[in-house]
Amino acid sequence: MGEMSSFQLGVIGALFLSVASSVSIVICNKALMSNLGFPFATTLTSWHLMVTFFTLHAAQRFNLFESKPIDMKTVVLFGILNGVSIGLLNLSLGFNSIGFYQMTKLAIIPFTVLLETIFLKKQFSQNIKLSLLLLLVGVGIASITDLQLNFVGTILSLLAIITTCVGQILTNTIQKRLNVSSTQLLYQSAPFQAAILFVSGPLVDQLLTKQNVFAYNYSPIVLAFIILSCIISVSVNFSTFLVIGKTSPVTYQVLGHLKTCLVLTFGYTLLHDPFTDRNIVGILIAIFGMGLYSYFCTQENKKKQADPLGSQMKEKDAAPFLGPQKEGHEVKNLNKDSLV
């Protein structure tokens, strides 16, 4: 019971940190990009990852965590994949309408479910699928305003969905199978994510904005917001790996849509963004779907605890906001260094 309570507290802490830091960085970046006119999102993300790596490197030097070597091929491919997925998501936003971009983000959950069902043999109950459907409908109602399709934008969106889903599934799988913590994995992979975005970011941003990040006039207030954004990003990146490792990629996406609802609410409350009855109805439906998802996951975990042998034979994706997820110790001993 003590171990279970500790796990639940860890999950609650990870979820709270993820929500708080993500909402904070969205508000900070919105001020930076919309109000101060700094449009270079991909390059900014590369700076985020570099600051995250140097922060973790300093923490490791002070023995705040132990670095664990991971097979170089696994780390490089994982880092590049995550870096490419970020670039593709930004390109998708640039080449599509905001409504279609929101549809792209909504499609990540069902595609993740599909991939985990096919390749990881996970099984999702009808109750879980129903709660996810309600969540997606609610977020769609609240956030999608227009749908404008074009060929290039559609291809970029499909590639963004695939790379994002695979990257998040690997984030969970690597931590479980190689027995590494979220901090250790982020520390090993952040330099490669930063490198791919540091090289491609200025090109992607120039393609989308027709401006050169190196020719931009950096005022003191812009620099202050960039520094603040980089500081918050350390918490965002750390909590992302932590949440996916402790729960599942699907639960992380559910949490992401909770952040969307909170951002819409804060935008109306703090920034006086337009807010309609449709937004309210959509947010309420989404929150109801999230509640059902957490409830059904918790119930399925209780069944797994009551019948541990059955749960080993028939694994389900039951990683709720408050429920423990047992790791398969038998796969950890196969190979602790490489997944490739």
Q: What residue ranges do the domains of the chain occupy?
A: 13-304
Q: In 3-state terms, what secondary structure has residue 123? A: strand
CA angle 209, 211, 213 (to 5 degrees): 110
Ramachandran sector of residue 176 (left: φ over 0; alpha: ψ -120 to 50; beta: rest)? alpha
Diameter over CA atoms, the chain: 63
- State the CB neighbour count (10 A cutoff) for residue 209: 16
Rama region for 258: left / alpha / beta (φ>0; ψ in -120 to 50; rest) = alpha
Neighbouring C-beta atoms of residue 336, cutoff 10 Å? 14
- The dihedral region occupied by 274, where left means phi > 0, alpha psi between -120 and 50, and beta the remainder, is beta
Name the residue type at position 209: T
Asked if 339 and 74 count as a contact pair (C-beta separation under 8 A), the reply is: yes
Residue 196, token pair as written in the block:
């791919």
Cα–Cα distances in angstroms (integers) from residue 335 to residues 154, 177, 179, 248, 332, in the given order: 38, 8, 10, 21, 6
Q: Which parts of 181-336 are beta strand (E)?
A: none
DSSP 180-195: --HHHHHHHHHHHHHH
**Which of 252, 254, 253 has the alpha carbon at shortest distance from 244?**
252
Determine contact, residues 192/76, Cβ cutoff 8 Å. Answer: yes
Burial label for 133, CB within 10 Å (0-12, 13-18, 19+), is middle
Q: What is the mean pLDDT of each run of 10 residues along the chain (340 residues)?
A: 65 87 89 92 96 96 90 94 93 84 90 94 93 93 76 92 96 93 94 95 94 95 97 95 90 87 75 76 92 90 71 48 41 46
Distance of alpha carbon 76 from alpha carbon 69, whole angstroms = 13
pLDDT value of position 72: 92
Instruction: Output the pLDDT for position 235.
Output: 95
Asked if residues 175 and 185 have their Cβ atoms less than 8 Å apart, the reply is yes
The Cβ-side half-sphere exposure at 151, using a 13 Å CA radius, reads: 0
Q: What sign does the CA torsion over 154, 163, 297, 183 have? A: negative
For residue 271, the model assigns a pLDDT of 61
- Regarding pTM above 0.95, the answer is no
pLDDT at 336: 43
Alpha-carbon span 289 to 138, nearest angstrom: 8
pLDDT of residue 334: 37
pLDDT of residue 339: 57
